Structure 1
Amino acid sequence: MQAAFAFAAADVAGWRERLGPVALPRRRRSPVGQLVKSIISARTRDAVSAAAYDRLVAGYGGPAALSRTAPTAVARTIGDVTFAQAKAAQLVAALRRIAAADGGFALDHLADRPLGDALAWLEALPGVARKVSASTLNASTLRRPVMIVDTHVLRVLQRLGFVPPAADYRAGSEAVTAAMPGWTGDDFLGFHIALKRLGQAVCRWDAPDCAACPLAPDCPAAARGGSLH
């Protein structure tokens, strides 16, 4: 098992180096701000979800006011994201549960909990699974060392053979996180950004451009012409 982790760590480190440097966000959202942004981001283009988040901030100011708002009103504010009504209901319910449990929205306790406990606490909230919980812990001011895996990142990891074709976001996140115990939160965020960009621009779902991929020499799918199977 230890040897397997060593091979996995060498693979990830090599891929990160070949993908080249990425610029990390200069400013991070608070944990609750990142939670809100992540809940409304699923299956929605980054520019669309970012604009919707900005409208929430402009319209409600903060999570307390948002938690007291009817989901129908929130849905109108974020109306151009996918599944706006469902996301609005989940968002309001999650914020109300946080207020009831914590008496506020700072979520400071997530900085000190064991990583697994912090993820589980978040995943008990409505609308929160591993992608959202990892993003809340890693991409926020908490900077916790956990891998964020979205659709694009998971596709790249599957094609590389790092996770099985049937793996989900949780499996991908846990595999990369376990492989790199010495990485900082910024290391994981940089790898996430690099893999996401690769998946969006090169390792596309419908037409992977394997000839342009810096990871192709290690990729079993590239050897099969880009297919997963």
Structure 2
Amino acid sequence: MPMLKTVNLTKRFGGLTAVDEVDLDIEKGEIAGLIGPNGAGKTTLINLITGRLPLDSGEVWWKGKEITNLKPNEICKEGISRTFQKGQFFPQKSVFKNVLAGALFGKDGVRKEIAKEKTNEVLEFIGLSDMKDMMPKDLPVGHRNLVGLARVLATEPELILLDEPFAGLTDEEISNLIECLKVMNETITIFVVGHVIRFIIEISDRLVVLNEGKKIAVGIPEEVIENDSVRKAYWG
């Protein structure tokens, strides 16, 4: 049984079908990558899975339980967390307090002292300890994305959906992040969206490709990028 499963997931905005009957399986313990041209529906798909947008039709299943109509906070408490392309933060709170919010939000009844310990552990792991007293808005774009990842990690998820985690990072920072993700993957399943194909190929066990809202390919990265439909979607 897949850890996460979507069935005929569909979302329309007026006359545009942004996600078109997408079936998706994510297996426990894997790193699955999601790629596709701009406007393919990648972020919309993540928004549907995490309850940020209502479905027009379809189903979302988590470890054999249907979670189609759950709210984002309920889905988070089930063990699914996500990051955003453009980090969403508490603007008047420090990096530490933004990540602390994730630690307090992720599980019911966690004591603040334990949440603070978890926050410090996550900041150290991600490499943001020296910036914990800064405001996220004062950080470079790439580091703001890392704050979002740290906050997600602090919720202690079983599955993380990462929306463009490499955006704004240098190649060296991306390489460091990839190593972090590999360590995370020892205990956390990862679904990562990205435009920089070479980095997604490097980290992913499987690739899923969307184009114009439809799933057009899925499989081993080296095989998927040679798929005629994928090549046509990217390069015409």
* TM-score for the superposition, normalised by structure 1: 0.29
- The TM-score normalised by the length of structure 2 is 0.29
Structure 1 or 2, whichever has the larger Rg, is 1
Q: Report the structure, 1 or 2, having the larger helix content.
A: 1
Higher share in strand: 2
Larger relative contact order (Cα-Cα within 8 Å, sequence gap ≥ 6)? 2
